[in-house]
Amino acid sequence: MRSDEYLIELRDVCVYFTERVGLFGKRVTKALDHVNLGIRDNDVIAVVGESGAGKTTMGRVILGLQRPTSGLALFKGKDIYSLRGREFEEFRRSVQWVPQDPYSSLDPSLTVGEQLMAPIRRWNPKVNAETRAEELLRLVGLVPPSFYMNKYPHQLSGGQRQRVAIARSLASNPRLIVADEPVTMIDSSLRIGFINTFIELMHRSSLSLVFITHDLALARILLLKSGRGRVVILRNGRIVEEGDINEIISNPKDEYTKVLINAAPDLKRWLKNREEGV
């Protein structure tokens, strides 16, 4: 397979953070440890792991925000850090980020409309920014859009703010969105609505999604609803399993996956029902 078939490829990526401890000591954290991952167009990848597993670091490497200590992060077969000019612009446009915390990701001094129109003007100067901003708000379920355009972030709920963050990530017409725990700070009753929004977005455009979560049951819902994709289980910076979610849940190879399954009552119930043929 040619490596430029991947939109993004992580090749043997390590990210090590070295911190000083006391006067002479140092501590090395292996946030990512020999990670290999290929992301194609139309891919859906759920990255699951507990706190500190390296999920955000993996997202940041994909975005070009964190340089690997060793190994390569490639965009269409080229090292992200070697990209210049138009190629770099294409990378920046193609890969977007929905950050973990919608409270700090939006500018409190700008209205929703302004936060959306700025990136639209940057990436699509020919389109009418206001019309496109309203279109994006509608896409993420904030209707009527005119109601939200003049609102400031503090006037919105956490869920609405997160929808604005998703809309903003779409402003450049990306090919891949990396969403870092996009529903963690949202009421559990609203989470499925968010999953549906992501799925609708992927069906409308040939968007790929890397969906980071600590919740294996939520990852399963996303993958089953989207009808494609795979799960990647991350533990201490290493990918310990990768593949079809039902297969991995039914037949976990790594002890850690069993721990994640045990932490998800819905999954345990599903497995029990399957065993009993319900």
Ligand X SMILES: Nc1ncnc2c1ncn2[C@@H]1O[C@H](COP(=O)(O)OP(=O)(O)OP(=O)(O)O)[C@@H](O)[C@H]1O
Name the site residues for ligand X (rule: CB under 6 A): 17, 19, 29, 31, 49, 51-57, 214
Residue carrying structure tokens 């399993």 = 241
Q: How far is the CB of 56 from ligand X (least distance, A)?
A: 3
CB of residue 197 vs ligand X: minimum separation in angstroms? Answer: 22
Q: Is 257 in the site for Mg ion (CB under 5 A)?
A: no
**Distance in angstroms (rounded) separating the CA atoms of residues 165 and 6:** 26
Residue 149 or 212: which CB sits closer to Mg ion? 212
What is the DSSP secondary structure assignment for residue 110, as one 8-state letter? S
Nearer to ligand X, 49 or 113 (CB): 49
The minimum distance between CB 36 and ligand X, in angstroms, equals 17
Show contacts with Mg ion in window 45-84 (CB under 5 A). 55-56
- Per partner kind, with CB cut-offs from 5 to 8 A, the member of ligand X, Mg ion, none near residue 29 is ligand X
Cβ 134 vs Cβ 148: under 8 Å: no
Contact between 96 and 165 under an 8 Å Cβ cutoff? The reply is no
Cβ nearer to Mg ion, comparing 55 with 76: 55
57 touches, from ligand X, Mg ion, none (C-beta below 5 to 8 Å by class): ligand X
Query: Residue ranges of the alpha helices (H) in the chain?
Result: 55-63, 85-94, 102-105, 112-123, 129-139, 145-149, 158-169, 188-204, 216-226, 245-250, 255-262, 265-275
